[in-house]
Amino acid sequence: MAIFLLRRLGAAVVLVFVIATMTFLLMSMTGGDPARNILGDGATVEQVAAKSAELGLDQPLAVRYVDWLGAAITGDFGRSWFTNEPVMTSLANKFPVSLSVVVTAILVTALLSAVLGVTAAVKRGWIDRFVQMFAVLGFALPNFWVALILVTVFAVNLKILPATGFVPFATDPVRWLLGLILPVGALVVGTIASTAQQVRGATIDVLRQDYVRTLRSRGISHRSLLFRHVLRNAAPPALTVLSLQFVGLLGGAIIIEKIFALPGIGSLAVNATLQGDLPQILGLVVVMVVLVVIVNLVIDLLTGWLNPKARVS
């Protein structure tokens, strides 16, 4: 198990490094003059040159890369070109908000799709048809449109839930939760729809296995068969889907945050994109990828714990 863990950890570090490097190189090859962008058209050539020197843009690419990487390893992604705020500070302010939404959404997705998927696989009948129809519906309806509908119904018309704003958990847990209901609700429609269907498929696959029949022949209770044997064997593929959903949710949250005016990474990402704020975007991408890698690592570990065969491979 220790070797399994080390291997995965090593692969994760390599992945983060490669993506960080690729992003840096791509972003640095941008056309145009960043210093000119920052200062605007009114600035003189001297001012622009001075700004370039200040930002280190007059250095060769290799030097800039080594400098950036060296600092990034220590968690220092430099300062925003436009606000001059340290990138790490703004990320530290924004990420908790986005993570509140994404983590809650992934937990809700895991729970509800497990219940729906397993019930559909075992009971079949109407709930099975519902899960399959829901899968198409959840795929077809963009989550930001669902969010708009939810806002219209619950915030504009019924006025029972807040349309906008975020209250930190530490300030008021109840209002924190109320504020999360609509954004999370909008996000999970799609993720539950596809995850539940995957859980259903995985469960049906396991139910068809020979060993399930043999376990039945041993007289094991239905409950034990389902919750111990079937769920455990159906979990790894479902977990893999869940980790992909997490990646998708990080992106989806950006749009959702705009609708609910949540002060998360969404506005940061969009503004940095529109301005071409290189340090900000780089920091954002790296932190995102680290998050994704951590989640994948956790999922890998869970899979290894559930499935003894995965530990050796």
Partner 1 sequence: MSEALIPAGAVVAVAATGRQKLYRRVLKNPMAVVSLVILALVVLSAVFAGQITGWDPGRADLNDALAPPFGEHLLGADASGRDVLARLFFGARVSLIGALIALATALAIGIPTGLIAGYFQGWFDSLSSWFASLLMAMPGLIVVLALISVIGPGMVGVMVTFGALLSPGVFRLTRSGVVSVRRELYIDAAKVSGLSDYRIISRHVLGVIRAPLVIQASMIAGIAIVIQAGLEFLGVGDSSTASWGQMLSEAFSNIYVAPTMILWPGLIIGLTVGSLAIFGAALRDTVQGAEPVRRVRRRKPSSVEDTATRRLDLSTAATAAVVSPRNGGQEDLEPNDALLVVRDLQVGYPQPDGSTTIVVDGVSLHVDRGEVLGLVGESGSGKSQTAFSILGLLPDTGAIIGGSISFAGRTIASADGAAHGAAALRGRQLGYIPQEPMSNLDPSFTLGFQLVEPMRQILGLSRPAAKAKALELLDRVGIADPRRTFDAYPHEVSGGMAQRVLIAGAVACDPELLIADEPTTALDVTVQAEVLDLLRGLQRERSMGMIMVTHNFGVVADICDRVAVMQAGRLVEQADALELFDDPHNPYTRMLLSSTLENTEPRSARSAQPVSSRGTAR
- 258 contributes a contact to partner 1 by CB under 8 A: yes
Task: Please report, for residues 90, 147, 161, 176, the alpha-carbon distance to residue 172 in angstroms, rounded to integers and kept in the order given.
Answer: 22, 24, 15, 6
Compute how many residues bind partner 1; rule: CB under 8 A.
82
Distance of CA 290 to the CA centre of its chain: 11
- 110 contributes a contact to partner 1 by CB under 8 A: no
- 93 contributes a contact to partner 1 by CB under 8 A: no
| Per-residue interface string for the shown chain with partner 1, residues 165-204, x marking contact by CB under 8 A | -----------------------------x---x--x---
CA atoms 247, 252, 255, 259: torsion sign: negative
Q: Which is nearer to partner 1, 50 or 301 (CB)?
A: 301
- Please identify, among the stretches 62-70, 89-97, 177-185, 213-221, the one whose residues bind partner 1 according to the rule CB under 8 A: 213-221
Q: Which residue has the tokens 């070109």?
A: 81
Binding to partner 1, residues 113-152 (CB under 8 A): 124-125, 132, 135-137, 139-142, 144-145, 148-149, 151-152
Q: Which is nearer to partner 1, 60 or 125 (CB)?
A: 125
Member of 281, 299, 300, 304 binding partner 1 (CB under 8 A): 281
Q: Which is nearer to partner 1, 22 or 172 (CB)?
A: 22
